[in-house]
Amino acid sequence: MDDYVVVLNAGSSSLKFSVYRRRDSKSWRLESRGQVEGIGTSPRFSARDGSGERLADNPLDKTAVRDGHTALDAVAQWLRSTYGKARVLGVGHRVVHGGPRFSGPTMITPQVLAELRQLIPLAPLHQPHNLAAIDAVSEQLPGVPQVACFDTSFHRGQPAVAELVPLPAEIRNGGVQRYGFHGLSYEYIASVLPDVAPEIAGGRVIVAHLGSGASLCAMRDRKSLDSTLGFTALDGLCMGTRPGALDPGVVLYLFQNLGLSAKDVETILYKRSGLLGISGTSNDMRDLLGSNQPAARLAVDYFVYRAAKEIGALTAVLAGIDALVFTAGIGENSPEIRSRICDASAWLGIEMDTNANGTKQQRISRAGSRVSAWVIPTNEELIIARHTGTVLGLIETRA
Ligand code: ADP
């Protein structure tokens, strides 16, 4: 009988899943991936096999699929009808926040779940959905072990100054520190660098994860030394609906002068700022790049400005830079944004190869460029599948 692990990435309006089959004692093969999107509005189910062929694409009844729990029911139903009685060895979850304690993938127990619930205020947009998926799996697949893989873990072990939030000790002692996020993505990039770009794998690399959430990670020898996201996923770069780094005095002003409630401020910071807030029209980079509206152009200008500024800052952290790597939705798919960020970083010695940038090539800098530039598609799900296998003792620990 075939053995599978299921990987779940539960967000506020989508539930993404991947099914991996154990190939041998060392690796997993992607069998299918898909999602329920539009949860709460117009839910839709889609799935593709490992080579990208469409397996399903259909609307779902919005009275039946109205939240994360019922979305998981829809996924479970499809898995049963597609994989029959195949054995699910475990379910691996993306969990955004692991706090100070969880520095690696962890088997979920009632005690672990209780600790993760305490971190909800640190990731209000993501953590409740991640944990709801764990609850839903416990009901749908009782007895199947579940593993939490954290977006913060890859950054643990950074120098103390990188993790520090310079507030009084009684506040810091309550867990107020810089955690960093997108760690599963950075871990994947770090894992493939020796194969894709061996000449820079041991060097000073800045990885730009530019998706609807966006951050940079400064790596030396494939370890995280610093990143632009901090205590929460609000810091650093301009994002789809989040502002990135903000003078904390602005937040005081919102409370004290505009009289906004904590809930209002949370909504502004997580859902109404960034590209959406600047453009007033869209949080999607494709819309903004296709628009002639001055506000849309300003949003793109700010996105690029902020990215280039933070690349400079992380170059200082690394005392130099050998390579810049682009990944995630914008990083993988937008030659224009890559080109603009590389141009703004030309002073560091990055010379883009404009022909390569428009193609599927992974190296997008000129042969003689002192600092090389790369596009490497990320694969957070594969990292979760590997960790799930390792924690469950199914797969040999990888180097
Ligand atoms: P997340 O996983 O955080 O939802 P993704 O990494 O999937 O985000 O990135 C989603 C974003 O990628 C979209 O909001 C869109 O702005 C951007 N994107 C996708 N394709 C393109 C493209 N061809 N050009 C520019 N931006 C793109």
* 277-302 residue pLDDT tens: 999 999 999 999 999 999 999 999 99
The residues that bridge with 30 in the sheet, in sequence order, are: 20
The helix-helix angle for 248-256 and 262-271 (nearest 10°) equals 140
- Residue among 151, 226, 235, 353 flagged as catalytic: 151
Each residue of 180-218: pLDDT tens digit?
999 999 999 999 999 999 999 999 999 999 999 999 999
Q: What pLDDT was estimated at residue 399? A: 39
Checking if the pLDDT of 272 tops 90, the result is yes
Nearest to 8 by CA among 195, 184, 138, 133: 133
| Average pLDDT of the chain, as a whole number | 94
Which 3 state secondary structure label does DSSP give 387? helix
Q: Where are the alpha helices (DSSP H) in 345-399?
A: 354-357, 380-391
The pair of three-digit structure tokens given for residue 99, joined into one six-digit string: 């706090």
Q: What pLDDT was estimated at residue 1? A: 47
Averaged over 86-109, what is the pLDDT?
93
Name the helix (H) or strand (E) containing 279.
helix 274-279
Distance CA 134, CA 145 (A): 10
Name the helix (H) or strand (E) containing 323.
strand 323-327
- Between residues 7 and 399, the one the model is more confident about: 7
Q: How confident is the model at residue 362 (pLDDT cuts 50, 70, 90)?
A: very high
Which residue puts its alpha carbon closest to atom 19 of ligand 1?
Answer: 329
Nearest to 392 by CA among 34, 106, 24: 106
Each residue of 240-261: pLDDT tens digit?
999 999 999 999 999 999 999 9
Share of the chain above pLDDT 70, in %: 98
Kindly state if the Cβ of 285 falls inside 6 Å of ligand 1. Answer: yes
Whether 13 contacts 42, CB under 8 Å: no
Kindly state if the Cβ of 330 falls inside 6 Å of ligand 1. Answer: yes
Each residue of 345-358: pLDDT tens digit?
999 999 999 999 98
- The atom number, within ligand 1, closest to the CA of 213 reads 3
221 flagged as catalytic: no
Q: How confident is the model at residue 396 (pLDDT cuts 50, 70, 90)?
A: low
Averaged over 59-71, what is the pLDDT?
90
Kindly state if the Cβ of 350 falls inside 6 Å of ligand 1. Answer: no
Q: What is the pTM of this model?
A: 0.94
**Distance from residue 213's CA to the centre of ligand 1 (Å):** 9
Kindly state if the Cβ of 290 falls inside 6 Å of ligand 1. Answer: no
Each residue of 145-168: pLDDT tens digit?
999 999 999 999 999 999 999 999
Q: What pLDDT was estimated at residue 395? A: 65
Whether 323 contacts 315, CB under 8 Å: no
Distance CA 371, CA 341 (A): 14
**Distance from residue 289's CA to the centre of ligand 1 (Å):** 12
58-72, 100-114, 374-388: least confidently modelled range: 58-72
Instruction: Provide the b/e sequence for 190-220 (b: ≥16 CB within 10 Å).
Output: bbbbeebbeebbebbbbbbbbbbbbbbbbbb
Q: What is the dihedral of CA 338, 155, 379, 137, to 10 degrees?
A: -140
> Which of 16, 284, 288, 384 has most ligand 1 atoms within 8 Å of its beta carbon, as the pocket-test mutant?
284
Phi then psi dihedrals of residue 109, to 5 deg: -125, 170
Kindly state if the Cβ of 286 falls inside 6 Å of ligand 1. Answer: yes
**Distance from residue 392's CA to the centre of ligand 1 (Å):** 33
Distance CA 308, CA 172 (A): 30
